[in-house]
Structure 1
Amino acid sequence: MKTKVLAALVATMAVGATCAFAANPFVDVPTDSWAYKSVVELADAGIIQGVDGSYFQGDRNITRYEAAEMTAKAMAHMDKASVEQRALINKLADEYADELNSLGVRVSNLENKVGNVKLTGDARIRYKYENGKVENDNSWDYRVRLRANAQVNDRTKVTYGISTNNHNFGNNGAASGADDQDSNDTYTDLANVDYNFGGNNWDLMVGRYTYILGDKVGYQFGDTFDGAQLQYKNDKFKAIAGYGKFKVGDADVWNGKWKADAKGNLTIKDTTAADSLLGVKTGYGELEGFFGGGRLAGSSVGVYYNDFFGKDAFKADDLWGAFASFNFGSKWNLTANYEQISKDQSKTSVDDPEMWYGKLQYGTASFAAPKSWDAWVEYLDAEDGAYLNGSTNFWRWDNLDNIKTWGVGVDYTFAKNAMFSVMQSFATDTKKGNDDTNELTRAQFVFVF
């Protein structure tokens, strides 16, 4: 892709202006030119050098690499740019992100200078249906989350986030099942300080954050967690160690505080269930190695471990697992995961229950790329007791253990920052016992901002 020098100048005009009376370095820019002042200011700031040090050649086509160099120099003068100019430079940084990376310029550095606080969020509208059960308004729910990200300095970031629970449409949107809103319908799901050090290889996060328990599937816990986590990462491997406590977030709506009756109405139930992860403490660790070149670039393998304690009634002692992710070219990905729990057999008839998972995906749906999409097929084999009651980041909300099941799904970005997804289970069988297992259908719209 090529662009005009003059077009790039319009985007970065007057950034870094320090001297209105600097000498004109270009013999082909007359003093009566409409662009004279901007050209001189940009040259004086070091954003442009011209050709052979003497000619501007404003009609000359330039390469993406040259445009990225100009953008990088404009980024260095962000403190002298107006709000409008910062927005323009931000767009240029997005456009030339790959070239800037090759120049050793981190786009995150630009984000640090755009403003101290950045507000983001997402909204989800979801439909869930279980075959064989009566469909009603409770099949539909929604959730909204807001995040404030404050860049304190080049190394330190503070994040605060709030989230609603999953509000269903059957009870006027109230998660409690009553006509009035419950006081716990909105809660703090993020509140942490993130410190980057050691040449950007080390990262320490302390506070409340989202913790996905080990596996890459989100099969186990994927919710609010209070703790501390230390991470080291380079181009070859990543190591994580952490400690904390599983907290009450959206997990208590479906697995602790609320229970749906036969008609789909939600009623209160005990939050102190012995098999619930809520209130359990854990120390955890994870190792992941990255490998592959060419078509296998970005592939990885890893292992993880959790040691549970702090709640006498909880029957799981520890958990370990291993995973692998293989990229085949730019489109295909194969993910595999194995997991085993050491568990008190008074709660399950299976000795040290295991979980196996595999997923083959084609394409990648990205919120930033309209019309991008992916399609996938998965297989789950989970023994009785393999799922720890607490929450899940998995698309399934029921039939999570004692099953063998397949699933398919499609994700499609129909507009920037707006994605539609649909998932369906099939060929689901109970592993132990004669209970029938229903198939699950889920569809959702997710909007990010």
Structure 2
Amino acid sequence: MKTKVLAALAATMAVGATCAFAANPFVDVPSDSWAYKSVVELADAGIIQGVDGQYFQGNRNITRYEAAEMVAKAMAHMDKASVEQRALINKLADEYADELNNLGVRVSALENRVGNVKLTGDARIRYRYQSEGDKIKGTDQVVNEKQTNDNSWDYRVRVRANAQVNDRTKVTYGISTNSISFADNSTASNSDNNNIYTDLANVDYNFGGNNWDLLVGRYEYIMGGPRAYGFFYGDTFDGAQLKYQNDKFAATAGYGKFKEGPIGGYWTVDDNNYASAKTAYGELEGFFGGGRMAGSAVGVYYNNIMPKAELLGNDIALDNIDVWGAYASVNFGKWNALANYETYRDVIDNGNGSKDNADVWVGKLTYGAANFATPKSWDAWVEYLNADQFDLDGTFIGSTNGWRNDSLTSNVKSWGVGVDYTFAKNAQFQVMQSFATSAKKGDADPGEETRAQFVFVF
């Protein structure tokens, strides 16, 4: 890009009130030049420096690195820019994101600028296949076919609008499709799956020197926080959450209701009945070896889950479930080791008034890091899951943030491996496979699961 073209763009970024008597620092820009005023303003604002401090050289081709330096300096003055100027700076920052990161300027800092509205989203095309279903131990007899090739392929699209209201307040709104199977092309017969629904609608407010954060509305809730495995997960959750955090410590408390997926269906007697659940939760986390964003972490958490079933139009309160959990996520070089434990109390009714606890153990070892912004980046992982039976019909009481199908999340011991590879910027291929899976109780083992998916972010 020629300097005079960039200067024309940069002229719209001339931020701040420049002194009318600012001196022209460049000997090759005469006062009668069409670019004189913009060049002087940008030089006075510190956005451009020229060559050797004396020459502008308006006809010279500049490098992307030099262009990124100008964008970085313009970003530093965004608080004085108009909405239109901020929009242009945002576009330039996206274009030169890699160069800005090399300069130590985080493009994500733009999210803290007032007036910034940004659309993001993702699209996923997924293949899932579970081999042979439940098999009688020691035989080849299949009890239940869990997955067939006919309904193995599905897709999902999500769009998010992120708006910075002021320097402390963000508003997020998101819509999503359900996972829609390719097996049925009929919109009418597949109408339930084709519904587009609001999965995010929240206000995020920072205060107290940005150490305190209040989140209210519809948001994603992961038990234990984003660093934990996320065995209990609410992809559509209405609630309120208060969090205090610094570089060493974080404390979170919240309350809300699961709206989509996590509970519904697992407490039902037939198709006319469904369940919902509210929960109060708290989390304590400590960060070390690099701080809150990049370092290792340990955490403990508690949930009181209050399920309620609707039985033929009558609400029935089910017993509360107390959940205690702890995790440790430790980085060493390019490796990360995650260990997560959860115990669910008062889950199973044995028929004589007594109830058992259900425990979940997860261990995961990851090498590398697949970054959507960095083509050819990749990671590989192996994990082990040991989960007790959660309720009377053997299924988990909620959805998980993991990749396994329902029958591989309860009453099971199972290993898994996976690879994530960024084959182009903002485009990633992910593959996962379970192995050595066996049921903890009963005679039928679930079949192994294969999953592969393309994920695109925008």
In structure 1, the residue matched to 2:271 is: 269
Q: 2: CA distance between counterparts of 1:230 and 1:322?
A: 20
- The 5 Å alignment of 1:39-438 reads 39-48=39-48, 55=54, 70-79=73-82, 81=85, 83-92=87-96, 95-97=99-101, 99=103, 107-108=107-108, 110-111=110-111, 113=113, 115-132=115-132, 133=145, 135-172=148-185, 179=189, 181-182=191-192, 185-214=195-224, 216-247=228-259, 249-251=260-262, 269-272=271-274, 278-293=275-290, 298-309=295-306, 311=308, 313-329=317-333, 331-346=334-349, 351-385=356-390, 388-398=396-406, 399-438=408-447
Q: Is the contact between residue 304 and residue 320 of structure 1 (CA under 8 Å) also seen in structure 2?
A: yes
**Distance between the aligned counterparts of 1:338 and 1:180, measured in 2?**
38
Gaps of 5+ in 2: 133-144, 309-315
Change (3 A) 1:225 1:86: closer
Superposed displacement of residue 250, structure 1: 4.3
Task: Give the direction of change, closer, same or farther, for the CA distance of 1:152–1:220 in structure 2 (3 Å limit).
Answer: same
* Shift in Å, 1:317: 2.2
- Give the match's secondary structure for 2:41: helix
Q: Secondary structure at the match of 2:121?
A: strand
Q: Distance in 1 between matches of 2:263 and 2:416?
A: 26
Residue pair 2:124, 2:157 contacting (<8 A) in 1 also: yes
Counterpart Cα distance in 1 of 2:266 and 2:214: 31
Contact 2:113 2:166 in 1 (8 A): no
Identity of aligned residues (%): 57
In structure 1, runs of 5+ residues without a counterpart are: 260-267, 273-277
Q: Which amino acid aligns with 1:411?
A: D
- Equivalent pairs, count: 422
8 Å CA contact 1:299, 1:325 repeated in 2: yes
Match of 1:439 in 2: 448
1:22 and 1:41 in contact (8 A); partners too: no
| TM-score, normalisation: structure 2 | 0.79
1:193: Cα distance to partner?
1.1
Compared CA separation, residues 363 and 34, structure 1 to 2 (3 A) = farther
Change in 2 beyond 3 A, CA 1:162/1:433? same
Q: CA deviation at 1:390?
A: 2.7
Q: Deviations over 1:366-413 (max 9, x none)?
A: 211122111110001111228742322210013211111100001111
Counterparts of 1:11 and 1:187, CA distance in 2? 39
In structure 2, distance between residues paired with 1:83 and 1:64: 17
Contact 1:68–1:99 under 8 Å retained in 2: no
**Counterpart residue identity of residue 314, structure 1:** L
Q: Partners of 1:227 and 1:51 in 2: how far apart?
A: 56
1:271 to partner: Cα distance: 3.9
The 3 A distance-change label for structure 1 pair 9 and 233 is farther
Secondary structure, counterpart of 1:345 in structure 2? strand
CA distance in 1, matches of 2:317, 2:162: 38
**Separation (CA, whole Å) in 1 of partners of 2:360 and 2:90:** 49
When residues 221 and 76 of structure 1 are mapped into structure 2, their CA distance, relative to the original with a 3 A threshold, is closer
Shift, 1:13, TM fit: 4.5
RMSD: 3.7
CA contact (8 A) 1:285 1:305 kept: yes
In structure 2, what is the Cα distance between the partners aligned to 1:170 and 1:256?
28
CA shift at 1:179, angstroms? 2.3
* TM-score, reference length from structure 1: 0.81
Preserved CA contact (<8 Å) 1:165 1:250: no
In 2, Cα distance between equivalents of 1:202 and 1:78: 28
Q: Is the 8 A contact 1:323 1:336 kept in 2?
A: yes
> What one-letter code is carried by the residue in structure 2 that aligns with 1:24?
A
Partners of 1:14 and 1:5 lie apart in 2 by 14
